[in-house]
């Protein structure tokens, strides 16, 4: 066992007992150079051969809507700033800078090589992943006068903006603009998971929903390189783990921290400080405290393994008042967010269009891309990605299928795609009285096993 593992194990056990350890990984430490007011160029600290995570499976065994769309995909890295935000570390107002990875439909005439994504494991081992997107490619023009809706993508604690790059590239290839956030204070580049694993957790509790709403506001109201082709009136939201915690709040699931929860998750002990934190944390819909109104641009949300329900951190009234169509996704053995907590969020949500996809025998790692080879050497590293029962590739393809169905149905209002969300409870096609049930729409016979579906 290496030194970092020996140091980390006790903290891991304490974190699990508190229920606040959210498995994650961080972005590779990079040098950032400004090229204009918002675009940044990332220069990796070392050259590492790019790793291809996804084999070319035949389409007969993958969900129908997981296939690549008709557009080439471009990608650009931007830096945006939310001015004068409360910083829990300094207890003062501070400009909050966010790094954003943006995927978008690109012109068909692109001939440049596909880019790569640089990251590092929890213990700091760098790796490079092969992308299916072209860096800084020219964007596609509008099609028949129709602009491309925005999807905001939000990682967990800790995480990084490309941890679900497969969703970003996939949705962009089907005519969406996807903005994935590096949540400041919440990436492995900033959080030392060995010496101070919870250093960014209070900031995460405070800022997750705020970051999501600010990103929506930036891309739909401020000038940027996609301003002419972005649909500024409709958007979707996808969040994983703490990103899901934020997403539920962003669409109206208000927080209801009590004094005990504040003390547990912040480490505060003095009554006055706890009361101040209580007033700060109990916000709703992107940081609102009164006259709360969910931004009507949000047309759909997908919460993958959302954290917080197991601790009762959302108000019953807020959940009941959610109107935005929302898809909850969870493993029934999730020991980080707690499946009972995920299911309770679904059950309490009042939206007329709500869905719950359950991966049977899955734990928490239902959303990240497959484990890179650099993570294979220790449980601390691979434990962020690895699922004991499920293939990460199968999970990723299924997530792509349902994310596209959800967004096409409720964001683009394509009614035919809503049929992919009206499913029977069990996917297994178990024979009864000699009759085999029909397979879930979009899946081939025999290839939709181990899942359950609920909807209203």
Write down the residue that tokens 């209203």 correspond to. Answer: 456
Does the predicted model carry a pTM greater than 0.85? yes
DSSP run (H or E) holding 302: strand 298-304
User: Domain range for residue 424?
Assistant: 3-455
Instruction: For residues 356 and 345, give the distance between their C-alpha atoms in angstroms, rounded to a whole number.
Output: 10
Instruction: For residues 363 and 388, give the distance between their C-alpha atoms in angstroms, rounded to a whole number.
Output: 8
Q: Tell me what pLDDT residue 39 has.
A: 66
Please name the residues in contact with 201: beta carbons below 8 A apart, sequence gap of 6 or more.
20, 157, 265, 266
- The residue among 222, 243, 74 whose CA lies nearest residue 156 is 243
- The residue among 2, 119, 21 whose CA lies nearest residue 379 is 2
Instruction: For residues 410 and 341, give the distance between their C-alpha atoms in angstroms, rounded to a whole number.
Output: 25
Instruction: For residues 286 and 213, give the distance between their C-alpha atoms in angstroms, rounded to a whole number.
Output: 5
Instruction: For residues 437 and 204, give the distance between their C-alpha atoms in angstroms, rounded to a whole number.
Output: 44
Token digits of residue 236:
């979707």
Q: Tell me what pLDDT residue 102 has.
A: 98
How far lies 284's CA from each of 217, 225, 236, 295, 328, in Å? 16, 30, 18, 11, 19
Token digits of residue 450:
């181990």
Q: Per-residue pLDDT tens for 301-355?
A: 999 999 999 999 999 999 999 999 999 999 999 999 999 999 999 999 999 999 9
Token digits of residue 189:
């580049």
- The residue among 158, 160, 156, 154 whose CA lies nearest residue 28 is 160
Q: What is the pLDDT along the chain (456 residues), one digit of tens a residue?
A: 333 333 333 333 334 333 333 333 333 233 333 333 466 655 544 578 999 999 999 999 999 999 999 999 999 999 999 999 999 989 999 999 999 999 999 998 877 899 999 988 888 888 999 999 999 999 999 999 999 999 999 999 989 999 999 999 999 999 999 999 999 999 988 888 888 889 999 999 999 999 999 999 999 999 999 999 999 999 999 999 999 999 999 999 999 999 999 999 999 999 999 999 999 999 999 999 999 999 999 999 999 999 999 999 999 999 999 999 999 999 999 999 999 999 999 999 999 999 999 999 999 999 999 999 999 999 988 999 999 999 999 999 999 999 999 999 999 999 999 999 999 999 999 888 888 889 999 999 999 999 999 999
Instruction: For residues 218 and 212, give the distance between their C-alpha atoms in angstroms, rounded to a whole number.
Output: 10
- The residue among 13, 3, 48 whose CA lies nearest residue 28 is 48
Write down the residue that tokens 């962020």 correspond to. Answer: 384
Total domain count, the chain:
1
CATH number reported for the structural domain that contains residue 215 in this entry: 3.40.50.1820
Q: Tell me what pLDDT residue 19 has.
A: 38
Instruction: For residues 273 and 267, give the distance between their C-alpha atoms in angstroms, rounded to a whole number.
Output: 10
Q: Tell me what pLDDT residue 376 has.
A: 97
Contact between 300 and 324 under an 8 Å Cβ cutoff? The reply is: yes
Contact between 395 and 366 under an 8 Å Cβ cutoff? The reply is: yes
Instruction: For residues 131 and 113, give the distance between their C-alpha atoms in angstroms, rounded to a whole number.
Output: 10
Instruction: For residues 311 and 64, give the distance between their C-alpha atoms in angstroms, rounded to a whole number.
Output: 36
Q: Tell me what pLDDT residue 29 has.
A: 32
């Amino acid at each position: 066992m290496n030194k970092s593992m020996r140091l980390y194990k006790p903290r891991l056990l304490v974190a699990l007992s508190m229920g606040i350890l959210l498995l994650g990984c961080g972005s590779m430490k990079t040098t950032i150079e400004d090229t204009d007011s918002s675009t940044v160029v990332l220069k990796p600290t070392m050259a590492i051969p790019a790793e291809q995570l996804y084999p070319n499976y035949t389409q007969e065994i993958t969900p129908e809507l997981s296939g690549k769309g008709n557009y080439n995909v471009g990608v650009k890295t931007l830096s945006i700033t939310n001015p004068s935000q409360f910083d829990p570390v300094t207890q003062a107002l501070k400009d909050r800078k966010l790094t954003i990875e943006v995927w978008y439909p690109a012109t068909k005439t692109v001939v440049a090589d596909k880019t790569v994504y640089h990251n590092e494991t929890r213990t700091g081992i760098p790796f490079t992943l092969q992308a299916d997107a072209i860096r800084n490619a020219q964007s596609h023009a509008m099609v028949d006068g129709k602009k491309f809706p925005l999807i905001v993508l939000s990682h967990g604690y800790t995480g990084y903006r490309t941890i679900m790059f497969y969703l970003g590239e996939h949705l962009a290839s089907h005519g969406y603009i996807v903005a994935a956030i590096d949540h400041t204070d919440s990436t492995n580049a900033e959080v030392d998971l060995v010496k101070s694993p919870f250093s960014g957790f209070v900031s995460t509790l405070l800022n997750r929903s705020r970051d999501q709403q600010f990103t929506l506001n930036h891309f739909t109201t401020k000038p940027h390189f996609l301003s002419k082709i972005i649909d500024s009136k409709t958007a979707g939201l996808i969040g994983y783990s703490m990103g899901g915690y934020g997403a539920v709040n962003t669409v109206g699931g208000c927080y209801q921290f009590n004094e005990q929860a504040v003390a547990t998750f912040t480490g505060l002990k003095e009554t006055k400080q706890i009361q101040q934190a209580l007033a700060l944390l109990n916000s709703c819909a992107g940081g609102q405290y009164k006259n709360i109104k969910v931004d009507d641009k949000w047309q759909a949300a997908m919460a993958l393994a959302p954290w917080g329900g197991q601790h009762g951190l959302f108000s019953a009234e807020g959940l009941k008042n959610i109107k935005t169509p929302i898809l909850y996704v969870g493993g029934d053995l999730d020991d980080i967010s707690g499946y009972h907590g995920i299911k309770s969020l679904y059950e309490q949500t009042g939206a007329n269009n709500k869905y719950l996809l359950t991966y049977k025998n899955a734990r928490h790692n239902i959303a990240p891309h497959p484990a890179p080879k650099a993570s294979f050497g220790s449980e601390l590293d691979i434990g962020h990605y690895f699922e004991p029962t499920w293939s990460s590739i199968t999970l990723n393809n299924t997530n792509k299928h349902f994310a596209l169905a959800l967004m096409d149905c409720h964001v683009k209002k394509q009614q035919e795609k809503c049929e992919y969300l009206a499913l029977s409870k069990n996917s297994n096609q178990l024979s009864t009285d000699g009759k085999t049930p029909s397979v879930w729409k979009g899946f081939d016979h025999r290839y939709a096993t181990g899942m359950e579906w609920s909807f209203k």
